[in-house]
Amino acid sequence: MTMATAKHLAEDAQEFLRFKRAMGIAYRRGEFVLNSFIRFVAKRWGDDGEVELQDAISRWCARVAGRKAVTLANEFGVVRQLCLFRRRHDPTSYVPEHALAPVKESSFLPYIFSHDDVRQILVLASSHHGRFIWAAMLRTLILLLYCTGLRLGEAVRLRMTDVDLDRGILTIQHSKGRSRLVPIRPDLVAELRHYAAERQKLLDTRRRSDPEAFFLRLDASPLNIWSASEAIRRMLRRLGLKPPVGRVGARPYEFRHAFAVHRLTVWAEEGVDIHAKLPLLSAYLGHQNIIGTEMYLKATPQLLELASEQFEQHLHNARPPR
């Protein structure tokens, strides 16, 4: 039986976070989850009140009824990592079993933009007039998201030094705990060069020093994720791809999904073994493992059918002759 207090858990959590960040992992979401767990313990048993750790974790996992399995599993995984870290100092310390919050396959299927959807969004972005969001910047952001599959945050956080237009390479710094290089096509390089020239004109007109962020707002300040996300959502609502209110419908993140599905579809139509290509796409997208990339194979009926046909053909060719 492992007993713990909120005070000691908070101290262990801080040491655990220092360990993670010493390895170059920001762990912001993990810190948020750990703080939530420690507040839960402190509220029910006080800062110094002892509680059986197994009981505290079980009650914390069950604190909200009807939660999505994947959300619960992700949060539980963070607390379990803390328990594993505590075991380094005390081999008898409690570590919960995965069965307490099993990871279930997600049934979520993203909205996949059609090529016509993307064209309409680009037309609308090209004529955008906003207080802080300007057309050239918004159009370039959309192109970058769709042509590379970058996460919105990765694109917004790009700095001038991360965009090597001579070599056609983007450097994505410390995303999901690691960095990666993303090669881009010459036609996208040309679009980024055009925007870079417009960006410099904006700085000259505003007489502002360069903030180094690649994407700038009209006042020459760095673009932030909220502003970018809100501008994209408004376009999606105008085009009917998202309802007038609510969180349902297409999201800014769908450009990443569209990139992956469209790339896999092209490979499948060309007769390429898309299962063999999955690891390459996974690395390009910055997925931590190939499981996240395999989800795209069932994103559209057309792609699922193409993948199934290829797999059946592979099995047929592999059968030994009678």
How far from the centroid of its chain's Cα atoms is residue 201's Cα? 32
Cut 0.85: pTM above it:
no
The per-residue pLDDT for range 147-191, each reduced to its tens digit, is 999 999 999 999 999 999 999 999 998 877 678 999 999 999 999
The per-residue pLDDT for range 181-208, each reduced to its tens digit, is 999 999 999 999 999 999 999 999 999 9
Which pLDDT belongs to residue 23?
80
| 3-state SS class at 173 | strand
* Adjacency order of strands within the sheet including 169-175: 163-164, 169-175, 178-183
Which pLDDT belongs to residue 155?
96
- Counting as low any pLDDT under 70, the low residues of the chain are 101-109, 177, 291, 298-322
Which pLDDT belongs to residue 66?
77
Which pLDDT belongs to residue 248?
79
Which pLDDT belongs to residue 107?
52
Lookup: tokens for 136: 């050239």
DSSP state at residue 298: G
Cα–Cα distance, 73 to 147 (Å, whole number): 32
Closest alpha carbon to 6 in 63, 44, 59, 58: 44
Please provide residue 181's backbone torsions phi and psi, each rounded to the nearest 5 degrees: -105, 135
Q: Which amino acid is at 115?
A: H
